Chain A
Amino acid sequence: MNIQERRKERIDRGIKVRTEGIYAVSSWQEVTYLVLPRLILIAGLLLLPFLMPSLYWNKVITIVGIYVLLALGFDFLAHFVGLVSLGGAFFIGVGGYTAAILNKSLGLPLVATIPMATLGGAVISTLLLLPALPLRGVYFAIVTLMYPLALSRIIEALNILGGTDGILGVASFPNRWVEQYLILLIVIFALFGLRRLVNEDIGLIFRGVKDNDQAVRASGLSITLYKAIAVFIASAIGCLGGAYLSHIYNWAGISQFALDFSVIPIAATVIGGGGTLVGPLLGCFILVPLSEFLRAYGTLRIVIYAVFLVVFIMLRSEGIMVYAQRKYHQFERWVKV
């Protein structure tokens, strides 16, 4: 029998004091150690439109940005509140239609419709999901999956809101630079905003709801209220993406309720590493362009895409960012047992 004589020892780098989140920063090296990854991410995102200057890839970057918003919302709900939501398509559809209606019927300009659709769509989504909030796990997921399917069929059957044609002639962005940089800035803002939120006091309550909801009730806090607040935040981010999508395509239609918007963010979260918030962003920047590259292979595209996902999940199931953060924050060395 082969006896394992060595094992890998992992030691945290000495920069942390006592607990996660408290640092003793005393030199520029340590400041760099903390700031550099964030700076690389922000600079990388902002340089992307210059690195990919073609019109086609500009559009892809914008679409990726929308998927990132959905993935951030999914990761926030699933890993910090304990609600598994398949409602990406629901949020996109509600936000998209709200923006299109505000723009076409009331003639409001783009700067007004996007914020209004964000908040209005979030209110509508939260109200519709309110009855499902006592549910947990897969049951909540099924209700959120039901809404986009039902709403698209209702629009089709009753022929309201433009029916199968959708709402045409929604105002477009002034130029492609505004279009790209606005979504990239929104993505950066949403990412760092959510990261800060989950470590604030109210974020701790969200994490408490995920860990142990009965203890939260015993602490005198209503879990339904805090779940509703969390769903409002996630659906606001999703509806913002939907409103953006309507203004990019100058159109809102029932294909905005397509399940791509529910499923790709989840795949991106799995690939990028759930619970990190940065992971889903990276996951989207890998998955969506990959599917564009594979267009050359015609119908084989989905096969190759699926094989990539399966292989990735077999070999690195923890996700890219969980792996990368471990490598970055810990020394590893072999020690004799």
Chain B
Amino acid sequence: MSEEDILQVINVCKAFGGVQALLNVSFSVQKGEVFGIIGPNGSGKTTLINCITGFIKMNSGKVLYKGKEISKKPPNQIANLGLTRTFQIMRPYYSLPAYKNLIIPLFSPRARRTGGWRGGGKLGDRGTVSIDILEEIGFERDSFVPYKLASSLPTGYLKRLELARCLALRPDLILCDEVFSGLSMSEIASMVPLIEKLQMDGITLVMIEHRLRELFRVASRVMVLNFGQKLTEGIPEVVMQDERVKEAYLGSEKLLDYTFEA
């Protein structure tokens, strides 16, 4: 293990009954990079994230975060170590306004260590801090949007709210589960600079994506999963030339053309 690795996943296996969802998946993520995970539907990408963050107990294997084993820990303790995740199917608190959604992560032990009991320390109370985070993530401060109930927000804002919940924990590593899916082209275009900004702030990102073109703009390395197994790993251009990867994606010729036309 090198000094730079923030996350190390070693031989993770997970079976749901007779279905082998993950088989001996290993990879490591370096501090500060954007690491992509791609693969066809049902290849185990989301299960992998669930295993790393403790939402699902893995059958065997180890996960090391900053050199310490976290595989046996419950999800809330893992989140408090600064390893946060977004959900593919957004999980906001629908009955609360958007800015109050962020008060819940701001109440976590990790956020309180920096913010103190009242919330933001010098920055004000939790309400103020959450409006600041929402502005950073693309909610217009002076509009009604941050004050609206989460149930009345469109998908684009809910995806941002997922990221905002991670940011409220002041994370070192974010596992993004398809933040671009379900968004329009213009919404994605405004999300990409956001991801780049997070990387510049020193946050390591692991991104599961189906939108390969956008992913390859930000990711320095990608890993390909198929039927729960790791096919290959490397820089995007090399990985996409791999025969096995082409096979895994049906109609891969067309997809590759699409990917590199930019």
**Residues of chain A having any CB pair with chain B under 8 Å:** 18-20, 22, 201-202, 204-205, 207-208, 210-212, 214-223
CB pair A217–B79 under 8 Å, yes or no, is: yes
Complex: chain A residue closest to B165, CB-CB = A219
Report B105-150 residues with CB < 8 Å from chain A CB: 105-111, 119, 126, 144, 147-148
Q: Are B107 and A211 in contact (CB under 8 A)?
A: no
Taking a contact as CB atoms under 8 Å apart, the answer to whether A205 and B104 are in contact is yes
Stretch at the interface among B40-48, B86-94, B227-235: B86-94
Shortest CB-to-CB span from B107 to chain A, Å, is: 5
Give the Cβ gap from B130 to chain A, nearest Cβ, in Å: 11
Asked whether, in the complex, the Cβ of B107 is within 8 Å of the Cβ of A221, the reply is yes
User: Can you spell out 24 A-B residue pairs with CB atoms less than 8 angstroms apart?
Assistant: A19-B97, A19-B148, A201-B103, A202-B107, A204-B100, A207-B96, A211-B93, A212-B94, A214-B87, A214-B91, A215-B165, A216-B104, A217-B55, A217-B75, A218-B53, A218-B85, A219-B76, A219-B107, A219-B168, A220-B76, A220-B77, A220-B109, A220-B110, A221-B104
Per CB-CB distance, the 8 closest pairs between chain A and chain B, nearest first, are A220-B108, A220-B79, A219-B105, A19-B147, A215-B91, A211-B93, A18-B147, A217-B75
- B77 partner residues in chain A, CB cutoff 8 A: 220
Nearest CB of chain B from residue A77's CB, rounded to whole Å: 16
List, in ascending order, chain B residues with CB within 8 A of A221's CB: 76, 104-105, 107-108
Q: Are A219 and B96 in contact (CB under 8 A)?
A: no
CA distance A214 to B104 in the complex (A): 12
Option from B55, B119, B168 in Cβ contact (under 8 Å) with A201: B119
User: Interface centre among A202, A210, A215, by most B CB within 10 Å?
Assistant: A215
Most interface-central of A204, A210, A214, A220 (chain B CB within 10 A): A220
Known contacts A18-B147, A211-B93, A220 near B80 by CB under 8 Å: yes
Residue of B at shortest CB range from A20?
B97
Q: How far is the CB of A112 from chain B (nearest CB, A)?
A: 32
A217 touches B107 (CB 8 A): no
Indicate which residue in A18, A22, A219 contacts B104 across the interface (CB closer than 8 Å). Answer: A219
Of A22, A204, A219, the most chain B CB neighbours within 10 A belong to: A219
Q: Which residues of B contact A201 (CB under 8 A)?
A: 103, 106-107, 119, 126
Q: Chain A's interface: helix, strand, loop or mixed, by majority?
A: helix
12 more contacts with CB within 8 A, not counting A219-B79, A219-B165, are A19-B148, A201-B119, A204-B107, A208-B93, A211-B95, A214-B91, A215-B87, A220-B109, A221-B104, A221-B105, A222-B76, A223-B76
B169 at the A interface (CB under 8 A) = yes
Question: B39 to nearest A CB, angstroms?
Answer: 23
Which residues of the partner chain A approach B106 to less than 8 Å between Cβ atoms?
201
B193 at the interface (CB under 8 A from A): no
Complex CA–CA separation, A18 to B99 (angstroms): 12
Separation in Å of the B244 CB from the closest CB of chain A?
33
Kindly provide the distance from the CB of A221 to the nearest chain B CB, expressed in whole angstroms.
Answer: 5
Contact B169 A219 (CB under 8 A): yes
Establish whether residues B108 and A219, one from each chain, have CB atoms under 8 Å apart when the complex forms. yes
- When each residue 207-223 of chain B gets 1 if its CB lies under 8 Å from chain A and 0 otherwise, what string results? 00000000000000000
Q: CA separation between A223 and B55, bound complex, in Å?
A: 13
A-chain residues with CB within 8 Å of residue B92 when the two chains form the complex:
212, 215
Counting CB contacts under 8 A, is B74 at the interface? yes
The answer, yes or no, to whether B226 is at the interface (CB within 8 Å) is no
In the bound complex, CA of A216 to CA of B103 (Å): 11
**A207 touches which one: B95, B119, B148, B165 (CB < 8 A)?**
B95
Q: How far is the CA of A257 from the CA of B84 in the complex (A)?
A: 45
A212–B161 alpha-carbon span in the complex (Å): 14
Instruction: Report chain B residues within 8 Å CB of A210.
Output: 95
Cα distance, A218 to B175, chains bound together (Å): 11
Of all chain B residues, the one with the shortest Cβ separation from A210 is B95
Give CA–CA (A19, B104) in the complex, Å. Answer: 18
CB-defined contacts of A217 to chain B, threshold 8 Å = 55, 74-76, 79
Q: How far is the CA of A235 from the CA of B38 in the complex (A)?
A: 49
Q: Which of B94, B104, B110, B111 contacts A204 (CB 8 A)?
A: B104
Provide the residues of chain A in CB contact with B91, threshold 8 Å: 212, 214-215, 218
Question: In the complex, which residues of chain A have a beta carbon less than 8 angstroms from the beta carbon of B110?
Answer: 220
Distance in Å: Cβ of B248 to nearest Cβ of chain A: 30
B111, closest chain A residue (CB): A220
Nearest Cβ in chain B — how far from A299, in angstroms?
44
Bound-state CA distance A221–B84 (Å) is 12
Between B79, B91, B93, B94, the greatest number of chain A beta carbons within 10 A of the residue's beta carbon is seen for: B93
Beta-carbon contact of A208 and B104 below 8 Å: yes
Residues of A contacting B165 in the complex (Cβ-Cβ under 8 angstroms) = 215, 218-219
A19–B96 alpha-carbon span in the complex (Å):
10
Complex-state Cα separation, A214 to B107, whole angstroms: 16
A307 vs B88: C-alpha distance when bound (angstroms): 48
A100→B65 CA distance, assembly (Å): 54
- CB contacts (< 8 Å) of B100 on chain A: these are 204
- Among residues of A, the one whose C-beta sits closest to the C-beta of B106 is A201
Contact across chains for B75 and A218 when beta carbons are under 8 A apart = yes
Which residues of A have CB within 8 Å of B55?
214, 217-218
Q: In the complex the two chains form, is B107's CB within 8 Å of A218's CB?
A: no
Please, which residue of chain B has its CB at the minimum distance from the CB of A17?
A: B147
User: How far, in Å, is B108 (CB) from chain A's closest CB?
Assistant: 3
Bound-state Cα–Cα, A291 to B84, Å? 54
